[in-house]
Amino acid sequence: MTGALGSMYFPTSRSILSRTVAPEMLGATLGTIATFESVAAIISPLIFGWVYSVTLETYPVAIFFLGASMAFAAWCVTLYIFIVHRRNSVNRS
C-alpha cells in the first residue's frame, strides 16, 4: 500500500511542479522531492508495519485509514504547492 501511494504521489507532484516552478528553481525543487521520496520509501513501511501490528487485534482496518489520511495529506500538499506557484506565476506576468 505504501508503495502504491508513493507511485501515485511522487510522479504527480513532479509533473505539477515541473509546470509551475520557475525554471531556475526546478532542479532544487525536484531534488528536494527526490530526497523526500527516498526517506518516505524507508520510513513509511516501518510506520505502517508498526501501526498494523499494534492495531491488528483491536482495530485491523486502522492501517487503511492511516493510508487514506496520508494520501489525503499528500494531495493537500500538492494542491497547496500548485496554488502558491500558480499565484506567483500570475503575479510575475
For the chain, what percentages of helix, strand and coil (3-state, to nearest 5) are there?
90, 0, 10
Segments of the chain assigned E as strands: none
Split at pLDDT 50, 70, 90, the class of 3 is low
Angle (nearest 5°) at CA 1 between 43 and 33: 50
Query: Residue 9 burial (CB < 10 Å; 0-12/13-18/19+)?
Result: buried
pLDDT tens across 37-84, in order?
A: 888 778 888 888 888 899 989 988 888 888 888 878 877 877 887 787
pLDDT tens across 22-40, in order?
A: 888 888 888 888 888 888 7
Work out the average pLDDT over 5-19: 72
Grid cell listed for 85:
506557484
